[in-house]
Amino acid sequence: MIAVVIPAHNEARRLGHCLRAVQLAAREARAAGLEVEILVVLDRCRDASLAIARRHGVHLLELDAGNVGIARRAGAALMLERGARWLAFTDADSRVPHHWLLSQVQWHADAVCGTVHIDRWQPWQGAAVRALYRSRYDAREGHRHIHGANLGVCASAYERVGGFLPLPAHEDVHLVLALQASGAHIVWTAMHSVATSSRRDSRAPQGFGDYLRGLEEQLL
């Protein structure tokens, strides 16, 4: 079974878009004969995220951790208990492409690290910020970007390295570094890029939003 794990912290504005995209990817995978289950890990949500997730008929796990590493780790543990053989991770402010899951599993790898892109910049993020971002982002095969919004891991490889650490940031980077140290076969591809938000108000400290804000500050 393929398990999609999505941590969410007060994501009512974007979670519905995320889940519609994931469900489309799951539908394509199921049409190819694969079993797919989707889990939203609601971490300290005080908005309508729970109600939105319920409307989409996905599995739910509620936490009060305020920590994305703990949320991803708990979600992965639950889906491993349910029999997951492949763990696919994205974020609640992101939208995966329709071929996302099929593209991940076609490699028969221990892990697949994908790219992200921004398809809707905020009005205040002008041409200079966008150009600086693109000049520093290597969206090609063989890249070395690591994003929790676009990551797939074989269950056995994940368990072998102990899974996500309970970190408030960079839990995805630490997992991939542990996989590399273990000799895992990792594919670095841009074939299933995930659209992500360009918001400044990151849910996780030192996340993608903080990175974008740092680019803006460099141009002041």
pLDDT digits (tens, 9 = 90+) for 161-202: 999 999 999 999 999 999 999 999 999 999 999 999 877 676
> CA geometry: angle at 134 spanning 216 and 177, to 5°?
95
Report residue 164 as tokens.
């996500």
- Choice between 130 and 55, residue whose per-residue pLDDT is larger: 55
**Does residue 204 have a pLDDT over 80?**
no
- Confidence at 208, pLDDT banded by 50, 70, 90: confident
Residue 214, pLDDT above cutoff 70: no
Is pLDDT at 126 greater than 70 in this prediction?
A: yes
Beta bridge partners of 42: 8, 62
What are the domain boundaries of the chain?
2-218
Decide if pLDDT at 127 tops 90: no
pLDDT tens-digit profile of 46-79? 999 999 999 999 999 999 999 999 999 999 999 9
**Domain 2-218, CATH homologous superfamily name and number:** Spore Coat Polysaccharide Biosynthesis Protein SpsA; Chain A (3.90.550.10)
Name the pTM for this structure: 0.93
**pLDDT tier, 10 (very low <50, low <70, confident <90, very high otherwise):** very high
The residue whose two tokens read 């590399």 is 180
Decide the pairing of beta strands 94-95 and 151-154.
unpaired
What pLDDT is stored for residue 14 in this prediction? Answer: 95
Contact (Cβ atoms closer than 8 angstroms) between residue 148 and residue 72: yes
Q: Are strands 86-89 and 151-154 parallel, antiparallel or unpaired?
A: antiparallel
- Give the chain's mean pLDDT: 93
pLDDT (0 to 100) of residue 132: 84
Per-residue pLDDT reduced to its tens digit, 139-169:
999 999 999 999 999 999 999 999 999 999 9
